[in-house]
Chains A and B, each alone.
Chain A
Amino acid sequence: MVPRTIDFATLSLQDALDLAILVEEEAKERYDELAHQMELHHNQDVGGFFRFMVKIEGVHEGRLEHRRTELFGAAPRRVRREMLFDVEAPDYDDVRANTTPRQALEVALRAEKKAHEFFTRALAAVKDPAVQALFAELCEDEVEHAGLVEQQLSRLPPDPVIKAEDVEDDPVAH
């Protein structure tokens, strides 16, 4: 069976970098899926925002890959995507067909906070000082990203009040 947990205590810098790359890859793919879902439901604004997030996560992934290649070249990867479950990828359940741009930003904010929690928890278990430094840096990055999303949120006007019955098929089971 593929291990579904990560032993942070024994993580090397190479593994840690690979893990961080995979975290970004997972988030990028999820935003792509969510963008497709929104486009399918004619929610272009939110779809566009999720597409923007695909680019952002791709940039983060690229930076980490560059660093990994500089340090370890093409040394084979030892950690697997199957060990990760929604670290920085927004929860599927967090999005609905009628998600508003404001709610979409909140989705991204929760995702950044989730990633911050992940690296903070990991940091407590990590032994290797180089890995500790990397995870501390990633924690800071997540705080910065969350701050940027919060800034955007503060600029958006509040959502209009929409009653559930305006958007739900009728009658919905209750």
Chain B
Amino acid sequence: MSSIPVERPALQAKDFKSDLKPIWCPGCGDFGVLQAIYRALAGIGRPPHEIAFVSGIGCSSRIPGYTTAYGFNSVHGRALPIAQGIKLARPELLVLVAGGDGDGFSIGGGHVAHAIRRNIDLTYIVMDNQIYGLTKGQLSPTSPRGLKTVTSEYGSLEAPVNPLLYVLAYGASFVAQGTPADMAGLADVIEQAIRHPGFSFVNVQSPCVTFAPEDQQVKAQRGRMKTLASVGHDSTNRLAAMGLAQTYGEVLYTGVLYKDPAPQPTLDALVRERQAKLALEAVPRERILDMFLQK
């Protein structure tokens, strides 16, 4: 490590790297996502002890442990409820949530809609590899039709969930997509997502090198990906975003798909406001028993 001092005591990507070394398969897309998260967090500049990083279960859900933030590698599909609870109880924390497409859109799928409608200020990063990685390659909710896996020997008959359309339709106020094939672009959208007030969602096409097919790997992505800037997309237009989101699974768009130009107040802010208001009218604790006994 260099001994030359850095001008300002700004946090660096390496400040968010824990001593735990990732045990993902060599080549896994999640390595690049982790690097992008380190860089995004350095850009945000909040120290690790002010960050809570929650995940479910899966290969991708290991990610909080590889950071120096407070981590909670929780229960399969339940990262969002836990993260929402943390944010409501400790609104001063920056809350990040991560997991796989199985964690988020299969077992945990029901929670996504409610996290969106509540609009609690957190950032949800889904490592969408279109497969169950940790449990050795079964179909996931985003697996393309026809995919042959251990659970679909003759090819999947089901249509995949479209995560981008799903969150846009429920009213998410920030939706982006990235890939480790463009780490700078990915770091950028994650940082923007964190800065956005309210529920923000980043779908990361993070390939599983062990169980997913060749055409989903980073090399194939490089030939296929298209930045949203290059197609002149207006990220303040939800309907235009939904139009582009329809191409999920065919075109790999990267960048910010939708960003509400006038975001609604977040639930955590509204709760704090109400708490402050009610505190003025609140009866002192010691008088509550008296009131009860008088009645």
Contacts and interface: CB of A to CB of B under 8 A. Distances in A.
A174 interface: yes
Interface of B: 1-7, 10, 12-14, 21-23, 25-29, 31-32, 35, 39, 42-43, 131, 136-137, 143, 147-150, 153, 180-181, 183-184, 187-188, 191, 207, 209-213, 217-219
A174 B149 CA distance: 7
A97 B149 contact: no
B13 A81 contact: yes
A155 interface: no
Contacts of A25: 1-2
Contacts, number: 118
Nearest to B207: A93
B12 A80 contact: yes
Contacts of A1: 43, 188, 191
14 contacts: A38-B26, A41-B25, A65-B2, A77-B4, A77-B5, A77-B7, A78-B7, A92-B26, A93-B29, A93-B180, A94-B27, A96-B25, A169-B211, A172-B137
Contacts of B32: 92-93
B188 A4 contact: yes
A77 B7 CA distance: 5
A96 B5 CA distance: 36
B211 A40 contact: no
Interface of A: 1-2, 4-5, 18, 21-22, 25, 33-34, 36-38, 40-41, 61, 65, 68-69, 74, 76-78, 80-82, 85-86, 91-97, 99, 168-169, 171-174
A90 B127 CA distance: 22
Contact of B153 (A36, A40, A76, A171): A171
A70 to B, nearest CB: 12
B180 A169 contact: no
Contacts of A95: 26-27
B209 A82 contact: no
Contacts of A34: 26
Contacts of A169: 136-137, 210-211
A2 B1 contact: no
Contacts of A37: 22, 26
B5 A74 contact: yes
Nearest to B6: A77
Given A91-B218, A93-B209, A65 B3 contact: yes
The 6 closest A-B pairs by CB, nearest first: A76-B7, A93-B218, A92-B31, A37-B26, A2-B43, A173-B149
B23 A82 contact: no
B211 A172 contact: yes
Given A34-B26, A81-B14, A95-B27, A174 B148 contact: yes
Given A22-B2, A65-B2, A173-B147, 17 more contacts: A4-B39, A4-B184, A21-B2, A41-B25, A41-B26, A61-B2, A81-B13, A82-B39, A91-B218, A93-B218, A95-B26, A171-B148, A172-B137, A172-B211, A173-B148, A173-B212, A174-B148
